[in-house]
Amino acid sequence: MSVTTTEPVLDVRGLKVEFRGLRQSLYAVNGVDLQIGRGQSLGLVGESGCGKSTAVRAMLGLIRPPGVITGGESEFQGRDLVALTPGRRRRVLGKDIGFITQNPFRVLNPVLSVYQQFRRMLRAHGLRLSKTESWDLASRALLDVGLRDPERVLSGYAHQLSGGMAQRVCIAMSTLLEPELVIADEPTTALDVTVQQEILDLLRERTSRGATIIVTHDLSVVAQYCDRVAVMYAGVIVEQGTTFDVFTNPTHPYTKALLASVPRRGAELYELGGAVESLFAPPTHCTFANRCAFAREVCRREVPRLEPIGVSDHRRACFVPVEEVVA
């Protein structure tokens, strides 16, 4: 996809999520800022447990107890998704925003046929179609996502589908009404390599006119399918920009380490030492400082802000001079 506008479809500012326990809280997302415009595809990357999935669910206002959104806004079409009532949120999700999860079997209702779920979704968004009209619409949607026997799929139930078929059904349902924004959270995690490629190609084709966010830990997916990338570590975005800029010229030590850890033929596998700092307290300094080869005193006493590098839209949250990191 190419950038077609500077007006953001989704504008996330200062988003924070806390999971409250009886004795202490886990601060999972700590002030995420993120924007995506129409025609853009953005990859949200980082190692497992860094808060990617929690962040995108918070952007949609889908955090459940004991999780609490404690700060920030997520503006879509002039509405703050965080502040919407459950009823208004349901009217937005599926129609204006499509959300695809990594496990389609947690989304599909096991006691309803695939057709019944299509029909319920259409009725929930105000499309009062006859049974024949809704069947035909659902059949075309399934054909569009590569399911060659839509009648059998529509008549069947979730347990009768393979993982790849179930994910195709979810993509068909999530994109049927041509939403302006699609968020896909690790959409190919449980699928084999061949099916992964087909699903990602399908997702790109079905969302080419809107904006797309793909959550993944696979950097090759971002390199192939996304024109922008945001790198997340310990609940914060540490670097973002065009995929080309960030991948060819990483300016944050964590991004540099993450890219160095990608296996390359003939090269020794790089391993990032140390462990992620505890998230049982809000950050009071750079959360990567304990693993960073470039860290200095200021990194251990202040929280860096995500700021632009020069006049480009390449941004990073780091006190270390760019020249030192890229050297």
8-106+180-326 has which fold? Answer: Rossmann fold (3.40.50)
The sign of the CA dihedral 48, 83, 174, 110 is positive
Task: Report the greatest alpha carbon distance in the chain.
Answer: 68
pLDDT tens-digit profile, the chain (327 residues): 444 446 799 999 999 999 999 999 999 999 999 999 999 999 999 998 999 999 999 999 999 999 999 999 999 999 999 999 999 998 899 899 999 998 999 999 999 999 999 999 999 998 989 999 999 999 999 998 889 999 999 999 999 999 999 999 999 999 999 999 999 999 887 677 888 888 888 888 878 788 999 999 899 999 999 999 999 999 999 999 999 999 999 999 999 999 998 888 877 778 888 899 999 999 999 999 999 999 999 999 999 999 999 878 899 999 999 999 998
Whether pTM exceeds 0.85: yes
Q: Are 53 and 233 in contact (CB under 8 A)?
A: no
Distance CA 8, CA 170 (A): 26
Domain spans in the chain, listed from the N-terminal domain onward: 8-106+180-326, 109-160
Cα 215 to Cα 181, 231, 236: the distances in Å are 14, 10, 14
Closest CA relative to residue 118, chosen from 102, 91, 136, 143: 136
| DSSP string over 141-163 | HHHHTT-S-HHHHHHS-GGGS-H
CA atoms of 167 and 206, how far apart (whole Å): 14
